Each structure stands twice: as structure tokens, then as C-alpha cells.
Structure 1
Amino acid sequence: MSNNNVIESLKKTLAEEYTLQIKTQNFHWNVEGPLFFSLHKLFEEQYGEISEFVDSAAETLRAMKSRAPGSFTEFKTLSSIQEPPSEKLNANQMIEMLTQDHTAVATAFKARLEEAEEAGEINAVTLYEDLITFHEKAAWMIRSHRS
């Protein structure tokens, strides 16, 4: 794999992390019902952690001498994560959406990890290892709130 492939994958990763951060923050603000307290707190912790990964992904791109995408337009084009619908969602819908998102990106990041390993991009390898661990745990923690 070439460094260019790793760069393009990192741009998608940055966009997906940013989109997931905003989605998680949206759910933090809007969750209601009996699971409010635990999900409100969990979502806040998770969007904070995701924010750090957003920064790490951008820094990894810059270290590879690439521009880091940084607009909603770019993120929407690059991200596989869908924005939530604008209508009111219940806690179980939020749980399902975020569980699917975290699981999907963990799976995608495993392939991107292999790409980075083949290209010898150690910083990207480390980032993807950390991301996979985080997203698999995040999916499990959210999933455990299913009623």
C-alpha cells in the first residue's frame, strides 16, 4: 500500500470521527427517559474521547505532510457515518444507531490498520489500534443499555 492510500483513509477516518463526535454530542443533549442519567453521562465521556481522536487523526495527517480536511462539507463527503434524523429519537433508537456506528467504524479501521502496516506508517498504525480498541469498547458500553 502507498502512503497516498493511507492518507486518503486517514481523511475518511477524521471525517468519521468528527461526524460520530457530533452525533454523540447531539444524543447527549437530547436523550430522555429512564436511561437519561447513565446515557447522558456515557455520551459525554465518549464524545470527549472521540474529540481527542479527531485531533490525533488530523495531527497524523499533518505529520504525513497532508492537509487535514476541516469543513462540514468535506466531512459529509468523506464520512460513512450518517447524521441522525432531525426528528426526536428515543433512547433505544440512539443506542441502536451508535452501536451500529461504533461497530462499523471498528470494522473499517481494521482494514485501514492493515493498509497502514503494509505502508510502514507507524503513527497511523498506533492511531488505528487505539481507535479499534475504543470503538469496540464504546459499542459494548452503549449496547449494555438496551432494554
Structure 2
Amino acid sequence: MTQALNVISEPRDVASGVRKTDTIASGLADILADTYMLTYKTHAYHWNVEGPLFYSIHNLTEGQYEDMFAAADEVAERIRGVGQMAPMSMADIRNRSVVDDSPETLSAGDMCKALAADHERVAHRLHALIKISGEQNDPVTEDLATERSAFHEKAAWMLKALVAE
């Protein structure tokens, strides 16, 4: 059993021609971690937002966390598709993510600003993964990362638009 796990975790190319699958999988694992952390943060803000923007933020964040929850599965399955293991511990998720926890109490506007900044950080990391994927002959990951980047850029724009002054 141990030998089989070691074989799976060793860097290797896949039959489709993708190179440096360990590098691709590591980038995807970072995105998976970001997705999980941002999903939870978005969901927590969804539950706790108050004030005149409640309805707008509550509805917007619901669509966003639902999208990210579904995307996490796609990202993890892509990691497996390149022959690597997806992260299995919450400690690994927390350590890999650029999304930080937030203070317990924020205004609705500050929630939007914090989420927008997180979406932008994740989009930035996705841009790096797009470049790496192209260099390693992995158009599938490149397409997935492009799609996810578009989502995060749009999410940031919408959150910023809610609190524009």
C-alpha cells in the first residue's frame, strides 16, 4: 500500500503530454486552498452581514460561495487528473492559501472590500498558473485556471461596485 502511494506522489508526466505534473499539481493545490478559504469566508460574511446593503450582499455572496464550492471539486479532480494527490488536511489548506481570516466584526462595506481584495489575490495566482500550465503543455489546466480567474475578477468587480463611493 505504501509503495502505491509513493508512486502516485512522485513527479511524472502524463500520457497526454503534460510535463512537470508536480508543479502543475502544486499550483492547483494552492488554488484549491484559496478556493476553500474564500468559500468559507464568503459564507461567513453571507451569514453575518447587516445594514442597508444586507439583501444585495447576502444574495451576491450566496451565488459566489456556491460557485466556489463547485469549483473546488473541479480543481481537486484536475489535480488527480495530472496524477497527483489533492490536499487532505485543513492545515495544508490554511498553509497554502493567500486568503486570511478576518476580524470577527466588520461593516458590510468592509466585508465587500475584504472579499474583493481576496478575489483579486486569487485571480493573480491563477494568472501565474495559466502561464505555468501553458509552458508545461497543459491546456486543460490552462483553461480551468482561465475560467476561474474570470470568475474571481468578476466577483471582485461586483463587490467593489456595491461599496463604490
2:85 maps to what in 1? 67
1:79 aligns to 2:97 (yes or no): yes
CA contact (8 A) 2:36 2:68 kept: yes
Counting aligned pairs with the same residue, the percent is: 35
Shift of 1:71: 2.6
User: Aligned to 2:28, what secondary structure does the other structure show?
Assistant: helix
In our comparison, the structure showing a higher alpha carbon Rg is 2
1:102-113 alignment, distance < 5 Å:
102-113=119-130
Letter paired with 1:132: S
Ranges of 4+ aligned residues in structure 1 off by more than 2 Å:
none
Cα distance in 2 for partners of 1:98, 1:122 equals 29
User: Aligned to 2:162, what secondary structure does the other structure show?
Assistant: coil
Q: TM-score, normalised by structure 1?
A: 0.95
Cα distance in 2 for partners of 1:128, 1:5 equals 14
Letter paired with 1:50: M
Cα distance in 2 for partners of 1:69, 1:4 equals 13
1:15-26 alignment, distance < 5 Å:
15-26=33-44
Q: Which runs of 5+ in 1 are unaligned?
A: none
How many residues align? The count is 146
Cα distance in 2 for partners of 1:3, 1:97 equals 33
CA contact (8 A) 1:3 1:121 kept: no
Q: CA RMSD in A?
A: 1.2
Q: TM-score, normalised by structure 2?
A: 0.85
